[in-house]
């Protein structure tokens, strides 16, 4: 599929090193007027003017290749013309409807049922952001089981409201806000590069999943029977971590054995990001409850949704409400986005281009002093940076330097991972091979520059 016409033709184009003077003015205004928790401009100092496909232009006229994709939101590309048209149509009709039925809502629900597993027969729209879906999923699990404990995984990110934050593992986000929800327990994810059991993927016996089973089985584990286990089938913010094939099926099996619900969080990995519509499709696993957001809104219109098995639909009207129970603009744009994904076989493009990019990254890894591991699936890729390949000491400062050099040379990337040492790529899925190659060349050159000065 040729997506070239969707992006600016001349990317990357750096007219002046960012932040240019106009960007600087915006940044100064922002830091004088907005709260200090604003964070992305610290890593990517610039103000945005417009964006197309897999490219973004700042207010100084610099054009960047976008490997960031608005944190994994812009799967169908910025300003996707088909999706824009659908949004314009909707804008002229109705834009807010609470949870009253309307044509846009019905169309999206019908399209969702084309892509959800047949076992999942109910959807529910809550508040506008991914966090809201996680809150709703947890409430539904607790409501149905009458249990309080939850199990989550090391490296998990599920959002920022108290419930979702309690399920997230990053201490930098939570330690100033205790107490959070009680009885949330964390167990190791299958993070093979840093296996806590000292195993290698080809010889391991899924010790991490066995530990999860032990926690549920042993009356002295200290962990009460949970309402649900929540997990990302491929971890995003944790550092683009792809577990071995058997891991998620084993978690499903354990949930079944111990009568615990399984929540799969597809907020970041869903909607063709990893080469399938949902990342759990790689594993043959079906959740009891799943969460969706980010790319569901088509062009970044905020929306979140949970989908679940019918037998869990026991709650009564008003048990979970809010002013924004879905978003009509997002329904319209989301449906058009899904249609674009089908019509252009975006999952396959994501799988193939992701594979190509990963092979380029593996080549860079092979003779780099600071790349511990390049990994990922589809267009959810990660490059873990270390001070030394043997010690694997994390190198967050080097990762930050690489991001900054990439930015100055026309490439936007994200940083994540347990130690903030993973360069993360979540480009719009309409990225072309030509732009991908240019982006990887900028990335490689940034890595070499950092290596030489280190
Ligand atoms: C897997 C996952 N779950 C939940 C969230 C929270 O979504 P939001 O930031 O839209 O609240 C994120 C955000 O990055 C995520 O990656």
| Minimal-distance CA residue to ligand 1 atom 14 | 268
Mutate to test the pocket of ligand 1, among 131, 170, 230, 274 (most ligand atoms within 8 A of CB): 131
pLDDT > 90: percent of the chain:
98
The number of the ligand 1 atom at minimal distance from the alpha carbon of 159 is: 6
Percent of the chain with pLDDT over 70: 100
Is the pLDDT higher at 41 or at 454? 41
Q: Which CATH class is domain 82-343?
A: alpha beta
The yes or no reply on domain 4-67+345-452 and CATH 3.90.1150.10 is: yes
Q: What is the pLDDT of residue 217?
A: 98
Ligand 1 proximity of 158 Cβ (cutoff 6 Å): yes
- Ligand 1 site, residue 236, Cβ cutoff 6 A: yes
267 lines ligand 1 (CB under 6 A): yes
378 pLDDT tier (thresholds 50, 70, 90):
very high
Q: For 19-31, write each residue's pLDDT tens digit.
A: 999 999 999 999 9
User: Quick check: 1 pLDDT over 80?
Assistant: no
Contacts with 313 (C-beta within 8 Å, 6 or more apart), sequence order: 122
pLDDT (mean) for 380-396:
97
- Band (392; pLDDT cuts 50, 70, 90): very high
- Asked, as a colleague might, if the bond just before 12 is cis with ω within 30 of 0, I would say yes
- Residue pLDDT, tens place only, 227-252: 999 999 999 999 999 999 999 999 99
Contact in structure between 185 and 215 (CB atoms under 8 Å): yes
- pLDDT, averaged across the chain: 97
Name the segment(s) of the chain with CATH classification 3.90.1150.10.
4-67+345-452
Q: What is the pLDDT of residues 301-358, one digit of tens each?
A: 999 999 999 999 999 999 999 999 999 999 999 999 999 999 999 999 999 999 999 9
**395-405: pLDDT as tens digits:** 999 999 999 99
Name the residue at shortest CA distance from atom 10 of ligand 1: 130
Ligand 1 site, residue 138, Cβ cutoff 6 A = no
| pLDDT 10s digits, 103-120 | 999 999 999 999 999 999
Q: Which atom of ligand 1 is nearest to the CA of 129?
A: 10
What pLDDT does residue 361 have?
A: 98
Domain with CATH 3.40.640.10 in the chain: 82-343
């Amino acid at each position: 599929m040729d997506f070239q016409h969707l992006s600016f033709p001349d990317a990357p184009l750096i007219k002046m090193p960012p932040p240019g003077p106009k960007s600087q003015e915006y940044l100064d205004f922002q830091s004088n007027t907005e709260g200090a928790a604003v964070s992305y401009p610290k890593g990517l100092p610039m103000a945005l003017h417009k964006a197309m496909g897999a490219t973004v232009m700042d207010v100084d006229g610099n054009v960047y290749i976008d490997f960031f994709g608005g944190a994994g939101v812009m799967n169908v590309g910025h300003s996707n013309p088909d999706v824009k048209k659908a949004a314009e149509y909707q804008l002229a009709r109705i834009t807010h409807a609470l949870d009253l039925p309307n044509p846009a809502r019905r169309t999206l629900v019908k399209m969702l049922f084309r892509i959800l597993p047949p076992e999942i027969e109910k959807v529910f729209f809550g508040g506008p952001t991914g966090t809201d879906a996680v809150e709703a999923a947890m409430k539904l699990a607790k409501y149905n089981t009458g249990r309080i404990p939850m199990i989550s995984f090391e490296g998990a990110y599920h959002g920022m409201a108290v419930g979702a934050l309690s399920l997230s593992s990053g201490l930098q986000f939570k330690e100033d806000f205790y107490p959070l929800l009680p009885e949330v327990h964390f167990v190791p994810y299958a993070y093979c590069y840093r296996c806590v059991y000292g195993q290698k993927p080809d010889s391991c016996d899924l010790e991490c999943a066995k530990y999860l089973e032990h926690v549920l089985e042993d009356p002295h584990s200290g962990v009460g029977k949970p309402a649900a286990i929540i997990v990302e089938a491929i971890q995003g913010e944790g550092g683009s971590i792809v577990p071995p094939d058997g891991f998620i099926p084993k978690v499903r099996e354990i949930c079944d054995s111990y009568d615990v619900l399984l929540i799969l969080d597809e907020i970041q990995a869903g909607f063709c990001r990893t080469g399938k519509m949902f990342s759990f499709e790689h594993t043959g696993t079906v959740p009891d409850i799943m969460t969706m957001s980010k790319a569901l809104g088509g062009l970044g219109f905020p929306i979140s949704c949970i989908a679940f098995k019918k037998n869990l639909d026991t709650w009564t009207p008003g048990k979970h409400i809010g002013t924004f129970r879905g978003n009509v603009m997002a329904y319209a744009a989301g449906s058009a986005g899904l249609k674009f994904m089908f019509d252009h076989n975006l999952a396959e493009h994501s799988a193939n281009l992701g594979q190509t990019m990963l092979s380029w990254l593996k080549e860079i890894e092979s003779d780099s002093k600071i790349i511990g591991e390049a990994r990922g699936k589809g267009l959810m890729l990660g490059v873990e940076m270390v001070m030394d390949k043997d010690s694997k000491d994390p190198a967050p400062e080097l990762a930050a330097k690489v991001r900054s050099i990439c930015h100055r040379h026309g490439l936007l990337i994200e940083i994540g991972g347990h130690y903030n040492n993973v360069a993360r790529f979540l480009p719009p899925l309409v990225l072309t091979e030509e732009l991908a190659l240019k982006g990887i060349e900028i990335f490689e050159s940034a890595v070499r520059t950092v290596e030489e000065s280190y």
